[in-house]
Amino acid sequence: MSKRILICNRGEIAIRIAKAVRELGHTAVGFWTDNELEPPHLEYCDIWLHLKGNNNTETYLNMDQILKLVSEHKIEAVHPGYGFLSENTIFAKKLEEMAVIFIGPHSFAIEKMGDKAISKQMAKDSGVPVIPGSTGEIESAKEAAEISKEIGYPVLLKAVAGGGGKGMRVCLSEDELEKNFAAVRREAESSFGNPGVLVEKYILNPHHIEVQILADKKGNIFHCFERECSVQRRHQKIIEEAPSPFIGDDESLRLKISETAVLLAKAVNYDSAGTVEFIMAEDKSFYFLEMNTRIQVEHPITEEITGVDLVANMIKSALGEELDIKSQAEIKILGHAIECRICAEDPVTMLPAPGKVVAFDYSFPQGVRFDHCIYKGFEVKPDFDPMIGKLIVRGLNRKVAIRKTKDALSRMHIDGVKTNLKLHEIIIDQENFVAGDYTTNYISEVKPQDQVEALVSDVALFKKALAIEIESMRQ
């Protein structure tokens, strides 16, 4: 039977969810707010609701107002997307109490996997390799120093709650650890409302590898293989690809890390789409990092190489329906996919650059998907995440995917706001990336942003010279 499904989010992910909701024959319900009167996702929704407020705290993070609207408009299911309330245990529990379906895992999984200390201990108990360090929250810098001395520097101070690169500091010595401890606690409290911190060994030259999980409410848990997410700035991903070029054709390693992710999912009786993230060392040993109990920003590249519609199957799982997949053997890798996160940010400093889009155009080659929320006149506001779209390219193999990505990036034009398009163009064409020889240190070591800065300077110099030439001709 058709259900009213509220999309408790905005931007490109709200559009993606609305498409899946309607494809499955359900009614898509979307929000508009006082600081976003004409959000593009409403074009794909059947019902529009007013979520009053002028900032995230008053709107998408306002649990009481959202729950009231859920009740008033007889909402039968809620899809939170990513960010906002997507991994909020209280929100999931309150919906359960209202007999409203939360399109995500059960609240126990969210609660246990949302705490880095608890999830690390559960992983350890399940036989999943974990990074050496504290087994739980540490109380003082002194305790952190004692553990760090035992496991050896460098170490990473990390908030037990949250994610997105916030509340994390690398410490190379005891002096740095003592200086950073209080700062990490403050940032954790400010960002996540939880000052808890843990300490663990910092893996040098690491790769960020994650495994996509998909499960139903009948006890079936499948993996959809891995994604490489090592091109990052400030612990936030910029480019992802699937499968991982670092794992390459090592099928035994691919199977091992994928089955390890399933092992952890089974430990919490997982029953939705989710992602188990790992840090992989230079010797290809890997360690559990965290589990994201929601759909990921980079889920499209997994969809492209497997043909599995993760969002649609996530909805089907929540409704107690059978997945499109009947066995693990059905899920196979076909080709290679790359995702570039297109953000309204300065391509050199990589800091948000809000503004209004005055021109937007693209003409992509075959095999390109662009999940986005922009149009001519769209205003990128400072209170929202600067990501405005995701360029997803699939090729028969990695070489073809890179070629198509370069072509697609060169055929996209966004004016009025600064974007990181030029940064992506440089990275995709850079020797280390093309060779698949990069780690999470790529941005800090290779510094592709310096090449962007040089290009920007050259263009500015050319424009200045051109203006002088035009002026002299007028005289």
**Residues annotated as part of the active site:** 294
How far apart are alpha carbons 48 and 32 in whole angstroms?
7
Q: Which two tokens stand for residue 147?
A: 């553990």
Which sign, positive or negative, has the C-alpha torsion 89, 288, 212, 444?
positive
The number of C-alpha atoms within 13 Å of 192 and in the hemisphere containing its C-beta is 26
Residue ranges in 106-219 assigned as alpha helix (H):
107-114, 116-125, 141-151, 174-192
DSSP state of 58: T
Contact (Cβ atoms closer than 8 angstroms) between residue 334 and residue 306: yes
How far apart are alpha carbons 152 and 147 in whole angstroms?
8
Contact (Cβ atoms closer than 8 angstroms) between residue 276 and residue 261: yes
Measured in whole angstroms, the distance separating CA 240 from the mean position of its chain's CA atoms is 10
How far apart are alpha carbons 66 and 61 in whole angstroms?
8
Give the H/E segment covering residue 455.
Answer: helix 448-474
How far apart are alpha carbons 157 and 147 in whole angstroms?
11
